[in-house]
Amino acid sequence: MAYLKVNSITKQFGGLIAVDKVSFEVEKHEIVSIIGPNGAGKTTVFNMLTGVYTIDQGEIIFDGRPIHNMAPQSIVDLGISRTFQNIRLFPNMRVIENVLVGTHLRTKYGLADALFRTPRYRKEETEKTLRAIEILKSIGLGHRIDDYAQNLPYGEQRKVEIARAIATDAKIILLDEPAAGMNPQESEELLSFIRELRGKGYTIILIEHDMNVVMNISDRIYVIDHGKKIAEGLPKEIACNQQVIEAYLGGVKKDAKG
């Protein structure tokens, strides 16, 4: 059985079917991309995976247990974390504090420990801070620890988001357009960073428009258009799939042909 199995999930907003019976599977240590034109429903799929939206039909099985319609916090707890299409950092917190918020879930001390600064508080706080520094260094932000998140350039803010997602001890990381707004060099770095992540045992699901990134990195690609899955396969197959080309570039009208 697949690590993450999405079984014909459907989401309706009133009369609009945003996601229509989409199914896909992700194996451990895979990098899977979900692509599709704007408004195809990719982010909605992410929102369903992470518990933001309830699903109207279907099921999502993660590591052998159903997780659909669970609270977002419980899903993060099980090990699925994400970044956002429009960066959602905590702008007035420092970079390291942003990442420490990510470790919140795995920090077990309570109010009494904080008030009396117990050994438990000190031990956990030290552990988590070291972990946050380590994550930030591995993502190339070691020099930004003290900065406020809002003062970082766009590309680095994206990286902080990824760092924050890693800090939750996630097993699957969902990246929502991580290369958006990055220059070619930055997205090249991002590529190698994502590969490194996979090497460290993470499983990655990616929404991305940058075809250079998608084609270079994905093990498999799913294509969604108008809420429906229209293709799946290896990058090579997707690149020459007629339906995908039509979805992106617009098809030739049938009556125009005749």
Partner 1 sequence: MDKNKSKRNNFIFILESFIEKFKIPIIVICAAVLLGIPFMGFSQYLMRIIIMIGIYSMLALGLNLLTGYTGQVSLGHAGFYAIGAYTSALLSLKLGFSFFPAAIGGVLAASICGLLLGLPTLRLKGTYLSIVTLGFGEIVKMVLTNWDKVTNGTLGLKNIPRPVIFGIKLTLANNGLYYMMLALVAIVTVVCVLIIRSKIGRALISIKEDEFAATMMGIKTTKYKILAFVISAAITGLAGAFYSTVIGFIEPNSFTFDVSTLIISVVILGGMGTIRGMFLGALILIAFPEAFRFLMDYRFVVYGLVLVFMMRFRPQGILGWKSQMPYKLPKAVRQQLEKLKTEGVKAQ
Per-position DSSP letters for 159-217, written without gaps between them = HHHHHHHHHTT-SEEEEESTTTT--HHHHHHHHHHHHHHHHTT-EEEEE---HHHHHHH
Residues 153-192 that bind partner 1 (CB under 8 A): 164, 168
Smallest gap from Cβ 164 to partner 1, in A, equals 7
Among 5, 42, 82, 171, the residue binding partner 1 under the rule CB under 8 A is 82
Distance CA 86, CA 180 (A): 9
In angstroms, what CA-CA distances link 13 with 18, 63, 107, 112, 225? 7, 29, 37, 44, 17
Q: For partner 1, what does the binding mask look like between residues 208 and 247, x meaning CB under 8 A?
A: ----------------------------------------
How does DSSP classify residue 148?
B
With contacts defined by CB under 8 A, name the span among 12-20, 84-92, 175-183, 234-242 that binds partner 1: 84-92
Distance CA 164, CA 200 (A): 16
Q: Which of 124, 144, 123, 148 is nearest to 135 (CA)?
A: 144
Smallest gap from Cβ 203 to partner 1, in A, equals 18
Measured from the CB atom, the residue of 72 and 235 that comes closer to partner 1 is 72
Distance CA 238, CA 154 (A): 30
Q: Is 76 in the site for partner 1 (CB under 8 A)?
A: yes
Task: Quote helix, strand, coil % in the chain, to nearest 5.
Answer: 45, 25, 35
Residues 93-152 that bind partner 1 (CB under 8 A): 93-94, 96-97, 100-105, 107, 109, 111, 114-115, 117, 121-122, 125-126, 128-130, 133, 145-146, 148
User: By the criterion CB under 8 A, which residues form the site for partner 1?
Assistant: 50, 52, 72-73, 76-77, 81-82, 84, 88-94, 96-97, 100-105, 107, 109, 111, 114-115, 117, 121-122, 125-126, 128-130, 133, 145-146, 148, 164, 168
